[in-house]
Chains A and B, each alone.
Chain A
Amino acid sequence: MSTQPTISPANAAARADSQPVEMLLNMGPQHPSTHGVFRMVLWVDGEKIIDVEPHIGYLHRGSEKLCEGEQYHQIVTLFDRMDYIGNFNNELAYCMAVESLMGVAVPERAEYIRVILCELNRIASHLLYVGTMGLDAGAMTPVMFSFRGRERVQALFEAVSGARMMHNYFRVGGLKEDVPDNFRQLVDELMPLLREDVEQSDRILTFNEIFLSRLKDVSPISADEAIALGLTGPLLRACGYEYDVRKAQPYSVYDRFNFDVPVGLDGDCWDRHWVRVQEMYESLRIVEQAMAQLPDGPVASPLGRRLIRPPAGEVYVRAENPRGEIGVYLVSDGTDKPYRLKVRPPSFCNLSALRRLLRDTWLADSVVVLGSLDIVLGEVDR
């Protein structure tokens, strides 16, 4: 039991004040609230956190290297398995990268269906976040409400793509196949129910007095610092900085929809929560508009099902994932397989702020802060 400390405490003054009660606390990879196989070694003084050392890599599968050995159409499945909560968003980012390298125009109907599915996926992802945030804060009911909504979305995804999670539905230049004939009816049935589920899991948690006192003013961060740390997505917007790739550099058909980018005030845990909840309402708005505008026409890629060989060159494409900005850097040497494929995963970059965010917090806050980062280990470790 005489483990030597493997980390150097950042706050030497805090150490000097309280010599005898410090200890190393290993949290994870099998801790119930580290959201997968994340591990952090906490240096604690009683209930106070002095420092934290994150350990990642328990879910490393070498996805980027694997991409180099697969043909372009096959790589979509690997992207499904990176951020396994926001599958469609990930597929979209990859497909856009190859499309921009090849200069392929995607059929309009395919773009709309992509947006609809991506926004529904964003809602499903944020619903998962709300539920697990409730669990982290000790409330057991929100997860039941939010998973009901998530289940409904996944049923729609299954009807569309045949799979609840690993869809493999987007193709370079289009979609695998058109949506089922009753797609419009399915979405029309889903929307009011989904809105009800979002509202329920919002109402039971967001303004609850105990939840507020647990999350408000916990690990606040300024917008400057957030940018310096490379935070994106809801974490950056919670600081009051209005940055959303869908608005800043509209891709697909996002410039045709009317939606707001919710921003927080203080950049604390509660603002992160609030921003995500508001994003769900905005996504519902986008889906409604996209369904109203959904055109007829082909969805299949103009490239057909042939083997594709993008011209030699490189491209960097970014998109707004539920967790933040995903970047795909693709280098092609003109063969049927990418020469190099590098992903900028939002979870990984957001997680790098953990040490800063956990400064001067309580042990009980550590799970809440980690929950507010909303990481997916499949994407962190790749």
Chain B
Amino acid sequence: MSFLIDLGWSALGLAVMFLALSVIVLSMVWLERKTLGRLQRRYGPTRTGMFGLMQPIADAVKLIIKEDIIPEDSEKAIFWIAPVIVVVSAFIIWVTIPGGDNAVVRNLPLGLFYIVAFAVIGILGLVLAGWGSANKYGIMGGLRSAAQLISYEIPVVLVAAAVAILAQSLDMREIVSQQATLPYIALMPLGFVVFFIAGLAEVGRTPFDIYHAESEVVGGPFVEYSGAHWSVFFLAEYINTFAIAALTALLFLGGWGGPALPDVVWFLLKTYAVVLVVFWVRGTFPRLRIDQLMSFAWKVMVPLSFYTVISAAVYRFYEWPWWSLTLMSAAGLAVAGWIIYRRMTAPVRRVAEVRARVAAMRRSS
């Protein structure tokens, strides 16, 4: 009997989670369009309801009533199952991501491990989608996504491990309660930056939107999908973006901790703040090339995440004061940031140098 009651509560929790996530996705679509609009000095949607608030619903209705085209040459079964894999893996990690002290479907003692483990499954769906659609752009996009997501999984996992070392726990609730006095961003600024950037790559957001790059592979794995099938991918992408933002908030920004307001409100405030940064980045940057993306992953992100883990472990082992870790992490961030900045702006300096030389030559002649 108690088993049945348990099952009933779980089902209720899942239903609430599903509804909440759907509303969140709609709000994110609206927020993204509005944010991008304002960044680009235009209004964004205005005609559908007040401030265009009904725009995501109009979009959803349009997508669902569209014809769902399945290409003749596609592997039908794979073509069908791929979006399901992607969307299930997007939803399933939310079972244990808490939105407040009690706002969680099922809190697991190994919650962080569970999230990291199940988030990877989505890659399989993307590769299958590219393969099953019998399209060369799809295959290229699918293989790109496999390379990209697996590479960036490593920094995400390592930084999550560093957080687990600090908190001495994999329980999300415990990790958040450990940050009640001092959020981990103060201890590990480098870890925060690495996690956020790798997270952007993990969900395929600009500047890492390489596997579905519109101007190169025309949507990549999604190129043959239309209508409701495509909207499922879309849904999964937004849920994943929100999940990365939520994890950033939970692991580094103190989760739902904060004065005066209820815990869920604090959680949403922090998560939406991270989401806004994601949109801001999207409105600003071009896209990296796939080889630059991979070398950035293996030459920059992975070493930095190793450094994060080791510094966290050293700090824990020797029981140093808390600011020692901040110093180590901030020093790593400063050095890495300076090197990357020098590397990326090297062409500009070279251009300026040669131009000055040419101008001097002209003057003397």
The reply to whether B351 and A265 contact each other, CB–CB distance below 8 Å, is yes
B348 touches A141 (CB 8 A): no
- Decide if A316 is an interface residue (CB 8 Å cutoff): no
Q: Are B286 and A138 in contact (CB under 8 A)?
A: yes
Q: Are A362 and B283 in contact (CB under 8 A)?
A: no
**A173 interface residue, CB < 8 Å from B?**
no
B residues 177-231 in Cβ contact with A at 8 Å: 206-207, 209-210, 213-218
- A209 — which chain B residues lie within 8 A by C-beta? 341, 344-345
- Residues in A with CB closer than 8 Å to B36 are 140-141
Query: Does B292 sit within 8 A of A, measured CB to CB?
Result: yes
Instruction: Please tell me if A216 contacts chain B, counting CB pairs below 8 Å.
Output: yes
B345 partner residues in chain A, CB cutoff 8 A: 207, 209, 212
CB of A66 closer than 8 Å to a CB of B: no
A148 to B345, CA, bound (A): 29
**Complex Cα gap A156–B209 (Å):** 38
Question: Which residues of chain B (118-150) have a CB below 8 Å from chain A?
Answer: 134, 136-137, 140, 144
Q: Total interface residues on A, using CB and 8 Å?
A: 40
Within 8 A of A (CB), among B1-57: 36, 39-42
Would you call A208 an interface residue if the criterion is a C-beta within 8 Å of the partner chain's C-beta atoms? Answer: yes
- Residue of B214, B292, B355 touching A213 (CB-CB under 8 A): B292
In the complex, what's the smallest C-beta–C-beta distance from A124 to chain B, in angstroms?
A: 19
Closest to B134 in A: A1
A136→B215 contact, CB < 8 A: yes
In the complex, the answer to whether B216 meets A33 with C-beta atoms within 8 Å is yes
- Give a binary string over B72-86; 1 marks a CB under 8 Å from any A CB, 0 the rest: 010000000000000
| Residue A144 at the chain B interface, CB threshold 8 Å | yes
A47 at the interface (CB under 8 A from B): yes
**Tally of A-B Cβ pairs under 8 angstroms:** 106
A1 CA / B134 CA spacing, docked (Å):
10
Complex contact B214–A32 (CB within 8 A):
yes
- Partner of B209 from the list A138, A145, A207, A212 (CB cut-off 8 Å) is A138
Give the bracket for the number of chain B residues in contact with chain A.
Answer: 35 or more
- Interchain CB contact under 8 A, A212 and B285: no
Q: In angstroms, how far is the closest chain B Cβ from the Cβ of A144?
A: 4
B62 within 8 Å of A (CB atoms): no
Closest residue of chain A to B283, judged by CB?
A141
Across the interface, which residues of A come within 8 angstroms of B134, CB to CB?
1
Given A138-B207, A367-B216, A214–B288 Cβ distance below 8 Å? yes
Residue pair B344, A363 in contact (C-beta under 8 Å): no
How distant is B201 from chain A, measured CB to nearest CB, in Å? Answer: 13
**In this assembly, does B290 line the interface, its C-beta being within 8 Å of a C-beta of chain A?**
yes
B291 surroundings in chain A (CB, below 8 A): 47, 362
Q: Is A97 an interface residue (CB 8 A)?
A: no
Q: Min CB distance, B303 to chain A, in Å?
A: 19
Residue pair B347, A137 in contact (C-beta under 8 Å): no
Near B by CB (< 8 A), chain A positions 189-225 give: 204-205, 207-214, 216-217
Inter-subunit contact B289/A362 (CB<8 Å): yes
Taking CB atoms, residues of chain B closer than 8 Å to A32 are 214-215, 218
Bound-state Cα–Cα, A144 to B36, Å: 11
User: Is A163 an interface position by the 8 A CB rule?
Assistant: no
Whether, in the assembled complex, A31 has its beta carbon less than 8 Å from a beta carbon of chain B, the answer is yes
Residues in chain B near residue A79, CB distance under 8 A: none
Tell me if B344 and A213 are in contact (CB < 8 A). yes
Chain B, residue nearest A25 (CB): B136
- Minimum CB–CB distance for A50 against chain B, Å: 15
Interface residues of A in 242-276 (CB under 8 A from B): 265, 270, 274
Chain B: which residue is nearest A144 at the CB level? B40
* Residue in contact with A134 in the complex, picked from B210, B286, B347, B354, CB distance below 8 Å: B286
Most buried by B among A23, A216, A364: A364
The answer, yes or no, to whether B102 is at the interface (CB within 8 Å) is no
Task: Determine whether the beta carbon of A265 is less than 8 Å from that of B136.
Answer: no
Question: By the criterion CB–CB under 8 Å, are B286 and A137 in contact?
Answer: yes
A207 touches B140 (CB 8 A): no
> Which one of A25, A26, A148, A367 lies within 8 Å of B215 (CB-CB)?
A367
Q: Is the CB of B41 within 8 A of A365?
A: no
Kindly provide the distance from the CB of B117 to the nearest chain A CB, expressed in whole angstroms: 29
Query: Which residue among B42, B73, B209, B214 has the maximum number of chain A CB atoms within 10 Å of its CB?
Result: B214
Q: Mark B288-323, 1 if CB is under 8 A from A, else 0.
A: 111110000000000000000000000000000000
Cβ–Cβ contact B216 & A210, under 8 A: no
Query: Which residues between 16 and 49 of chain A lie within 8 Å of chain B, taking CB atoms?
Result: 23, 25-26, 31-33, 47
Interface: B284 (CB within 8 A): yes
Distance (whole angstroms) from the CB of A34 to the closest CB of chain B: 10
Residue of B137, B215, B347 near A270 (CB, 8 A) is B347
Q: What is the CA–CA distance of A136 and B206 in the complex, to the nearest angstrom?
A: 13
A204/B284 in contact, CB under 8 A: yes
Q: Measured between alpha carbons, how far is A340 from B348 in the docked complex, in Å? A: 48
Chain B 261-273 near chain A by CB (<8 Å), digits 1 or 0: 0000000000000
B286 touching A145, Cβ below 8 Å: no
Q: Which of B73, B283, B347 has the most CB of A within 10 A?
A: B347
Q: List 19 A-B contacts (CB under 8 A).
A: A1-B73, A25-B140, A33-B216, A47-B290, A138-B286, A140-B40, A148-B41, A208-B285, A208-B286, A209-B345, A210-B287, A210-B288, A210-B344, A211-B286, A213-B288, A265-B351, A265-B355, A362-B291, A365-B289
A residues at B contact (CB < 8 Å): 1, 23, 25-26, 31-33, 47, 134-141, 144-145, 148, 204-205, 207-214, 216-217, 265, 270, 274, 362-367
Given contacts A140-B282, A216-B347, A364-B216, 17 further A-B contacts (CB under 8 A): A25-B140, A32-B214, A47-B291, A138-B209, A138-B285, A140-B40, A207-B345, A208-B286, A209-B341, A209-B345, A210-B285, A210-B288, A212-B348, A213-B288, A214-B287, A362-B291, A366-B216
